[in-house]
Amino acid sequence: MDIPVSEVKKELEARLPDVKLRAVGNSLLVENPDDLPRVALFLKENPKFLLDYLSSVTGADYLSYLESVYHLYSMAKKHGPVALRVRVPKNKARIPSLVTVYRSAELQEREAYDTFGIIYEEHPDLRRLFMWEDFEGHPLRKDYAQEDSETLEAADIAWLEARGVEVPPEMKEKAKALEAAGQRAVAQKPEKPRN
């Protein structure tokens, strides 16, 4: 049972007049990220929708901005989904967390933080989910440069040599050259054959 976006939008605009909304495709864009918890709480508690179940939280990178998408369903009324989305600029990717409204956001927001670098404010435990703590970058962003596993950097060589591993001289030279140029060892991205 689908809920038409226009209906949700109408109801929301009537009840929360200061929230700016825009219908994007089959989903509802909350223009100001700070309004998101209010909207979610309203949808969760409003008897007409009772969207008590947050199915999926995910980020997406649209080059000029980052987006966080939420799919809400109702277990009580067995309808849905209502998709909410929030857009934030890349350099200021901060969205209020939904954990206080839906606990199911906990691990999913951690995942989106890990992979997209979206900071969910007031999340009780915002750590990386899959990658290790001092991992650099956010792997699902489109500008993420993957580390080249074949080429060693100066730090890697120091780490290896401290453990008594012999590093071939040509690798050392390459690392030195990289360091002198102030570059990282970045893997060549597989070119995307777009026909």
Partner 1 sequence: METIPFSKNTDTAEMLEINFGPQHPSTHGVFRMAVQLEGEKICGLKPVFGYLHRNHEQIAENLPYAAVMPYTDRLDYVNALTNNFGYALAVEKLAGLEVPERAEYIRVIMAELARIVNHIAVIGFMLNDLGAFFTPLLYAFRERERILDIFEGVTGSRLMNNFFRFGGVKHDLTEADLAEIKKIIARFPAFLKEFEDLLTKNEILCMRCQNVGILSAGDAINAGITGPVLRASGVNYDIRKVDGYSIYNRFDFQVPLGKKGDVYDRYYVRILEIRQSLKILEQALAKIPQGEIMNKKALPYLKMPRNFKPPVGEAYGRIESPKGELGFYVVSDGTPQPWRYHVRAPSLINLTALEEMCLGQKVADAIVILGSIDIVLGETDR
* Binding residues among 90-149 for partner 1 as defined by CB under 8 A: 102-108, 111, 115, 125, 127-133, 139-140
Applying CB under 8 A, does 83 fall inside the site for partner 1? yes
Residue 39-78 contact track with partner 1, rule CB under 8 A, x = bound = -------------xxxxx-x-xx-------x-x---x--x
Nearer of residues 54 and 178 to partner 1, judged by Cβ: 54
Strand order in the sheet with 65-74: 21-24, 27-30, 79-89, 65-74, 53-61
Cα–Cα distance between 51 and 91 in angstroms, integer?
A: 32
Asked if omega into 168 is within 30° of 0 (cis), the reply is no
DSSP per position, 78-144: TEEEEEEEEEEEGGG-EEE--TTT-TTHHHHHHHHHHHH--EEET-TT---SSS-TT--S-TTSTTP
Nearer of residues 61 and 178 to partner 1, judged by Cβ: 61
Nearer of residues 25 and 168 to partner 1, judged by Cβ: 25
Binding site for partner 1 (CB under 8 A): 1, 25-27, 52-56, 58, 60-61, 69, 71, 75, 78, 81, 83, 102-108, 111, 115, 125, 127-133, 139-140, 190, 192-195
